[in-house]
Structure 1
Amino acid sequence: MSILRRGRSICVLGFLLAGGVGIISSTQTWLTVQRADAGEPLAVAGADIVPLLAPLSLAVLALGAVLAMTGLVLRHVFAALGAGAAVVLILGTVPLIAAPPQSAVTAAVTDATGLAGEQAIGEIVARIEPSPWPSVALVCWIVLLAASVLTVVSARRWKTGGRRYRTASASHVHTAGPLDPVDSWDELSHGDDPTDRPR
């Protein structure tokens, strides 16, 4: 089955994956500051480096949760919002992977040491070491961007949402062909067994 025919499931999973990983990563250590004054290394969480990480990830997760149930116009609106969030998060994450700038940890170092000013903090920071989390997050943002583009391309092929609000007789009309995971979940939610259908 082509990607376009499976577009709804792939797009929903892409949004949910990116949002879920983003929320989890926001509480994890993204950068570790090794101090020149022989003090304890300072772990800096993702949310402290990229302030929009947690709220945007939560928004993406919410978009993914309702994407399959929306009409054509909202699918395109949600795709645009998802793509915008992906671009913002990519731009905020890429600089942290290879050579994280001192500005990324300035606030954390100030909170830990009480020092302020670029020169004073530069004397404290010996080096900044990135953890795997920025790379993991970047992959998820790319997946989100791809899912947003796929939503626009495949949205017209999705089955009409709102199955649970149809009449009881209509809800029992099945179409031939392979089961879509989202359709199967919808059928289970109103008491139908999607595996118990004529072959």
Structure 2
Amino acid sequence: MRRARSTAVLAMLLAGAIGVIASTQTWIDVTLDDGAQQTLAVPGAEALPVLTPLSLAALALGAALSIVGPVLRHVFGALGLLIAAFVGIGTAQILLATPVSATAATVTDATGISGTDAVASLVRDLALTPWPAVTLVAQIVLLSASVFTLVTARRWASGASRKYRTADETGGDTGRPHDAIDSWDDLSRGDDPTA
């Protein structure tokens, strides 16, 4: 089951990293009907404002999943499902409908005109780049990794390495000599390591 943990962790990290990268890339090219037919690039972070924070959260979940115990594995799997669903639905809406509202912030910054109807009247054409599709695939990977985590997490080997567990969790005697790290751990717990 060590491979199962590694697979879930790497998939979550990959999905989070792709989301962060996609948030900085152009998702929609907007051509304005302003006489000059100006074209504006709308980055993923403006088209879908929750993309960056939720992708960073997916990265954090993947990193933490490598050391947590069984209960938190299930909590993190459920959180991964929510993130994948939320970002995936938002991305799918942009892919399927290409709403003018996804471009509103960029158009307002460029023209100073705000309001959905006013922005819509300025937009002549919208063209999607491949990044929304890439992001949707990443969310499917995150969704799969989250479901895989929920199904297999109970059978994974113990979450934390020995240095992150207490003596009670390791059964007290580890079968090896007491070393400097153990002495520091004893001192941290308030025990006298010289006794």
TM-score normalised by length of structure 1: 0.78
Matched, 1:36 2:43: no
Deviation at 1:122, TM superposition (A): 2.3
Offset, 1:118:
3.3
Residues 2 and 157 in structure 2, CA contact (< 8 A), matched pair in contact too: no
Q: Secondary structure at the match of 2:68?
A: coil
1:102 to 82, 100, 103: 100
CA RMSD of aligned residues (A): 1.8
Are 2:52 and 1:45 equivalent residues in the alignment?
Answer: no
1:15 alignment partner in structure 2: 12
Alpha-carbon shift at residue 91 of structure 1 (Å): 1.1
Q: Which amino acid aligns with 1:169?
A: R
Q: Cα 1:106–1:70, aligned 2, differ >3 Å: closer, same or farther?
A: same
Report the counterpart of residue 193 of structure 2 in structure 1. Answer: none
Give the structure 2 partner of residue 155 of structure 1. 153
Deviation sequence 1:168-192 (CA, Å, 0-9, x none): 839xxxxxxxxxxxxxxxxxxxxxx
**Which structure: greater helix fraction?**
2
Give the drift of 1:156: 1.5
Question: Retained in 2: the 8 A contact 1:15–1:64?
Answer: yes
Paired residues, number: 167
Superposed CA offset, 1:146-167 (max 9, x none): 1000001111121102224264
Secondary structure of 2:63 counterpart: helix
Q: Gaps (5+ residues) in structure 1?
A: 171-199
Q: 1:157 to 1:102 in 2, by over 3 A?
A: same
> In structure 1, which of residues 54, 57, 61 is the aligned counterpart of residue 55 of structure 2?
57
In the superposition, the TM-score normalised over structure 2's length comes to: 0.80
- Cα distance in 1 for partners of 2:176, 2:127 equals 61
Q: Which range moves more in the overlay, 31-40 or 142-151? A: 31-40
Measure, in 2, the Cα distance between the counterparts of 1:52 and 1:103: 14
Q: Map 1:104-183 to 2 at 5 A.
A: 104-165=102-163, 167=174, 169=176
Instruction: Provide Cα deviations, 1:8-41, integer angstroms capped at 9, x if missing partner.
Output: 1111011100111111111111111012223321
Corresponding residue of 1:176: none
Please state if 1:25 is matched with 2:22: yes
Cα distance, 1:56 vs structure 2: 0.7
- Corresponding letter in the other structure for 2:19: G
Cα offset for 1:5?
Answer: 6.7
